[in-house]
Structure 1
Amino acid sequence: MSSVSIDRQARLPRGTDLLRFGVPAALAAVLLVFAIAAPGFLTLNNVAGVLVNNVALTAIVALAMTLAVAAGGTDLSVGTAVDLGSLAFVSAIAAGHPVWIAALLGVLAGVGTGVFNAILIARLGITPFLATLGTLFIGHSLQQLTTDGGNPVYVSAASIPPALAFIGHGSVLGVPFVLWLLAGLAFGTWLVLARTRFGREVLAIGVEPQVALYSGLPVGRILTLVYGASAALAAVAGILLSAHVNAYVPYSGNAYLLDSIGAAFIGTSLSRTRRANVPGTLLGVALFGFVQNGLLLVGWNFYWQQVGTGILIFGALLLAFAGRGSAARGRPGAH
């Protein structure tokens, strides 16, 4: 078998295991503080609202980012994939196509974005940061060209299909559809990364890309699948966003970019080996969502909410550097 075993990579010393509890402890502290400071914070209606409005779509985009980070890169174009998925979906609905065809076209628009990224990264050797940054700018221009300078595209209120209304606002067994979909996508992403050979190969590329290449792994094909899947997930978020507001809103995907990056990297602190993982990413998204909601309830405006998010990201970086420093001290010959 020509796969690279990631088990060979040195784990962090056991003394740094306390760092892994940083994100869960921070989330518990946030819930406790805001439960005291804002009496309505832990009510069922507020928690449900946070999960649907603050967490669900960001979490799906963050799952997309998790795949890219697991492969040793990043994807600055996830917002573009959100937008292009939304644009293709709404345009197809407005043209009278069935919802399932519109959804398929939306996902394919996202996949195209991811495959373009993979060509730049795997075939042309451009770094993921620069490649996906270029795709972001191209995506912005493409949206302007296809919408007369960036005009929204609306679905007529009189012609909203029942399936579209269900995707945007429906529930199953009393639980919003968007949360069921998030649970399914999160489980599927976790299963692929943590329990399959493909997931081990992705992580191997993320740890030692040159070793993976020399070991015979089809790095180009794997990266194509990774970035294609990443963009497809982001496009799903775009479809859900469109179904919720019955419109395509230009550049709305950018709102999810920074939170998805922060959540994916904060989530790495949950792993002893500091690798991207789905549970950690979901905890990171929940942390952002509840902090932003709590600050809103206590009267802080949007700008201060962004300060709170920035502080969380700085905290994640401190945890990461602390873990790396402990790992370096724990290596043989480091003293």
Structure 2
Amino acid sequence: MSADMSDTAAASPARERRAPLAWHRLAVPAVFIAVVVFFALTTPTFLTVANLTSLLLNNFTLLAIVSTGMTIAVAAGGIDLSVGTALDFSSLAFIVLLNSGFGFATASAGALAAGAAAGAFNAVLIGGLRLTPFLATLGTLFVGTSVQQLLSGGGLPIYLIPGVHIGLASAKLGGIPVPLLIVAGVAAVYGLVLARGRFGRALIAVGEQPAVAYYSGLRARRVSGLTYIACALAAAVAGIVLSSTVSAYVPLSGNAFMLNAIGATFIGTTLSRTGRPNIVGTLLGVLFLNVVANGLLLIGWNFYWQQVSTGVLIFAILAFSFVSSSRT
């Protein structure tokens, strides 16, 4: 057999091994395109400028920011069930500081500090007391829920006082809405840290091979603690944007983002060659979930059936991904 024929024979199995992986990575984009085409054909208002603008600004923005933080928590081998608590504490601090006469910059700094405090509490539980991320963040969620109810008189909203105006939600820079620019900025920072930064490499090492990371000299507890503070900071940014949009603090509103953030993060892993959480994949997962919810709303489906349909699609995508990757 000639050398050329040997090379061809050797290359053929390699191509066959790579084929399932290619389909595995195309699953989410293919389903996303199919969903967009379906809704475009079934409802005339889906592709209108007004609907797409509302989808991006009212739905995509907040979930994208929260999910970006969730991505690094999952990449570190954990999960953060308390992102809603960090968002709510940020929103509360932001509105209270503005109502107390402080400017936007000071209120924003206070909001970020309040959100980071929730992350620091998780850091102590996980890095200091060595609780599992699931139990630690679940405990923070319960504590945060009780604290909010106590501070808000049982869950009453706190509205921005008359005369205090926030222009963040409607502001534009270069014709682009500022909330979308905030999404791009948060995603860029976290994406670079995760993909290129030294901390990102340590985080992934701790998440994928904790024993190896430990014996390599990495300070795993410190990395885990910083990870949950960073996750909470992203949620705190979302809290500022949310408060700026509704001009109020609504207790426990952040909990609505937790499950979808987890779902978007795991959908995003299907776009990675190695199955790792990644920012670009997570953002596509967020867009996918919002498009499905928006389209089902437009065709008149009940809210509960919307949740069922979204869950079924997530299961289908993850199942296809698992089957495809297991064959490689």
- After TM superposition, the score normalised by the length of structure 1 is 0.90
| Pairing 1:249-264 to 2, within 5 Å after superposition | 249-264=250-265
One-letter amino acid of the counterpart of residue 278, structure 2: N
Cα pair 1:213 1:219 within 8 Å, conserved: yes
Residue matched to 2:233: 232
1:301 to partner: Cα distance = 2.2
- 100, 106, 109: which is aligned to 2:114? 109
1:320 to partner: Cα distance = 4.3
Residue matched to 2:146: 141
Runs of 5+ consecutive residues of structure 2 not aligned to the other structure: 1-16
One-letter amino acid of the counterpart of residue 187, structure 2: A
Cα pair 1:269 1:319 within 8 Å, conserved: no
User: Could you list the runs of 4 or more consecutive aligned residues of structure 1 that deviate by over 4 angstroms after TM superposition?
Assistant: none
One-letter amino acid of the counterpart of residue 299, structure 2: V
Runs of 5+ consecutive residues of structure 1 not aligned to the other structure: 1-12, 328-335
CA distance in 2, matches of 1:322, 1:83: 38
1:167 to partner: Cα distance = 1.1
One-letter amino acid of the counterpart of residue 312, structure 2: I
CA distance in 1, matches of 2:315, 2:293: 16
Residue matched to 1:331: none
Among the aligned pairs, what percent are the same residue? 51
Residues 212-236 of structure 1 deviation map (CA, whole Å, 9 limit, x = unaligned):
1111011122112211110011011
1:73 to partner: Cα distance = 0.4
Cα pair 2:81 2:134 within 8 Å, conserved: yes
CA distance in 2, matches of 1:301, 1:54: 18
Residue matched to 1:301: 302
Cα pair 2:21 2:325 within 8 Å, conserved: no
Residue matched to 1:90: 95
One-letter amino acid of the counterpart of residue 143, structure 1: Q
Structure 2 residue 26 is matched with structure 1 residue 41:
no
Residue matched to 2:268: 267
Aligned residue for 1:27, secondary structure, equals helix
1:36 to partner: Cα distance = 0.5
CA distance in 2, matches of 1:38, 1:172: 32
| Pairing 1:1-335 to 2, within 5 Å after superposition | 14=18, 15-156=20-161, 158-161=162-165, 164=166, 166-323=167-324, 325-327=326-328
Classify 1:296/1:59 alpha carbon distance in 2 versus 1 (closer, same or farther; 3 Å). same
Residues 124-168 of structure 1 deviation map (CA, whole Å, 9 limit, x = unaligned):
111111110000000001111211222111102x3223xx2x212
Corresponding pairs, count: 311
1:316 to partner: Cα distance = 3.4
Cα pair 1:119 1:224 within 8 Å, conserved: yes
CA distance in 1, matches of 2:325, 2:219: 29
CA distance in 2, matches of 1:301, 1:176: 31
One-letter amino acid of the counterpart of residue 152, structure 1: P
Cα pair 2:62 2:238 within 8 Å, conserved: yes
Cα pair 2:99 2:164 within 8 Å, conserved: no
1:120 to partner: Cα distance = 1.0
Cα pair 2:90 2:114 within 8 Å, conserved: yes
One-letter amino acid of the counterpart of residue 111, structure 1: A
CA distance in 1, matches of 2:38, 2:198: 42
RMSD after superposition:
1.3
CA distance in 1, matches of 2:322, 2:146: 37
Q: Which has the higher mean CA deviation after the structures are superposed, 259-268 or 141-150?
A: 141-150
1:324 to partner: Cα distance = 5.2
Cα pair 2:263 2:314 within 8 Å, conserved: yes
Aligned residue for 1:168, secondary structure, equals coil
Classify 1:319/1:117 alpha carbon distance in 2 versus 1 (closer, same or farther; 3 Å). farther
- After TM superposition, the score normalised by the length of structure 2 is 0.92
CA distance in 2, matches of 1:294, 1:187: 28
